[in-house]
Structure 1
Amino acid sequence: MTTGTAAADWTVVDEGWGRRAVDFATLSEPANCREYVALHHRLGIGERDLVLDIACGAGLAVELARARGARCAGIDASGRLVAVARDRSPDSDLRVGDMHALPWADGSFDVVTSFRGVWGTTPAALGEIHRVLVPGGRVGLTVWGHLKQSPGVWALQPFRLASTAKVANQANMVSLGRPGAGEELLSRFGFVEVERISIPFAWEFPDPEGYARALAATGPAYEAIQHVGETEFFEAAVAQARERVREGLPLRAEIAVSGYLARKAS
């Protein structure tokens, strides 16, 4: 979930996503477990599968696929996040690299996953995913869904502190959540039996400060921090979350996430 730039500049991803890799791995990523588990279940990942996770980040999805018995590989543009992933899964093949030029041979994997890692701005990654799948192999992707109708969209608002150009690019990135967009893209790259599904997703945080710290560890937050500064970003995030505090309950942000399931033709 950590690659959102064009193939030519993939190495800059580590600037934003890797700068607080430990915070991301321990404060932000665990809330993605519902998403990871749901997609793994729908893909039927099991002991005979060799699985590749694209934009694997700190590797929690790889760990969960391994818990289902799969043998795993992963790739991410952030070397500092991959270091965390290797610490978590030292027996998996985890590499730093570009998802537009995967360093594996044709037909290497039974399943490829990507959790909010393939964007509307990186469509060519689907060609590489198709290439490394075996005939009949399965692919599962998740993307942000209908954000404006999501009750937890408030949790994404601090990202809009980025520059106008960056905010516009963020909108282009999430375009695969629009009706028909993901289906068309997967079909264009030769996938069959394309199905769109709803994926459970909720961020939970202990308090406004915990939310702000977790959010600040993400790439879109870094874009906002570059524009307004660390202090202003943190204060804005805390203020946003204070309006959502519930006595005796965690801060909770339910956000629409869509999944796509498909196969490479046999």
Structure 2
Amino acid sequence: MTPSLQLPAAVSGDRTRAQQRARDWAEIQERMLVPLYEAVHARLEVGPATSVLGLGCGSGLSLLLAAARGAQVVGLEPVPERRELAEARGLPMLAARDASAHAIVTVLDGLAASPDPLALAQSAARLTARGGHVVLATWGPRERCESAPVLALARRLADPLLRQLPDAFALSAPGALERVVLGAGLRPDGGGLVPCPFAYPDLDSAVRGFLASGWFDAALAFSGEKQLRKELTEALFPYLREDGTLRMRNVFRYAIGQKLH
């Protein structure tokens, strides 16, 4: 858990809310993916002399874990508030994609939410050194993710004219990620399923964590925060335990592609 950072006094309401959601991502939700990050780092033997670029690195937890293994890391995060938190953690960040090539380029969050996952994978491949690896990750099988009914709210509460919003599980079927790897001009080089349980100290933290994920931005804009919080609370309530904590079983899938040319 990262400590809260002091906000400037004179920021707009929208800016303040965006910064709070970024904090909630860093302090609540991002750590749920630590098992995925660690599995990827172990599989690729991340260590000294390894250069790692994180595309959509959020507030940088995956890169901090790679740096702890001795890797040279850099991130690229399009959300300004998350990028600021990554920089506050001391991580080097790219203002834009440059021509540098890295041994490992990861897309560990945001692939499933991308309107064009293949284009994102192709961008990752362009930034990978020959012989290096690209790692793509997404949700695992829908039936093995207790968060699936909660994520379904993101589409149901969004503007009906935006029903083309990405399905969180569009790339979760066996072989789907590997097809993206091949489409990006990479050679499939393994992958796996990683259990990533979501655990929260209370129901309010769970609601804040899901709101911070980015999946609900369209629903937030259309249905409003009050309605969305109400629906999220109802969807999360079945996972509440007697001691007030909340836990959901989830699985994530990752695939690795090697750049040969």
TM-score category of the 2 structures, normalised to the smaller one? 0.7 to 0.9
Whether 1:169 and 2:165 are equivalent positions in the alignment is: yes
Q: Deviations over 1:45-66 (max 9, x none)?
A: 1111010001011111111110
Partner of 1:34: 35
The CA distance in 1 between the partners of 2:140 and 2:42, in whole Å, is 20
* Structure 1 stretches lacking a partner, 5+ long: 1-13
* Structure 2 stretches lacking a partner, 5+ long: 1-14
Partner of 1:116: 109
How far apart are 1:231 and its partner, in Å?
0.8
Look up the equivalent residue of 2:115 and give its one-letter code. T
Superposed CA RMSD in Å reads 2.3
Pair 111,216 (structure 1): closer, same or farther in 2 beyond 3 Å:
same
How far apart are 1:254 and its partner, in Å?
1.7
Pair 178,226 (structure 1): closer, same or farther in 2 beyond 3 Å:
same
The CA distance in 2 between the partners of 1:144 and 1:121, in whole Å, is 16
- Give the one of 218, 231, 242 matched to 1:236: 231
With structure 2 as the length reference, what TM-score do the two structures score?
Answer: 0.84
How far apart are 1:145 and its partner, in Å?
2.2
Partner of 2:61: 60
Q: Deviations over 1:203-241 (max 9, x none)?
A: 111121111122122212221111211111112212222
Look up the equivalent residue of 1:93 and give its one-letter code. P
Structure-to-structure mapping, 1:55-94, within 5 angstroms: 55-88=56-89, 90=90, 92-94=91-93
- After the TM superposition, which of the residue ranges 176-185 and 109-118 deviates more from structure 2? 176-185
Moved over 6 A (4+): 14-17
SS at match of 1:168: coil
SS at match of 1:170: coil
SS at match of 2:99: coil
The CA distance in 1 between the partners of 2:44 and 2:230, in whole Å, is 41
With structure 1 as the length reference, what TM-score do the two structures score?
Answer: 0.83
How many equivalent pairs are there?
Answer: 244
Aligned sequence identity (%): 25
Look up the equivalent residue of 2:164 and give its one-letter code. A
Pair 59,167 (structure 1): closer, same or farther in 2 beyond 3 Å:
farther
Pair 199,247 (structure 1): closer, same or farther in 2 beyond 3 Å:
same
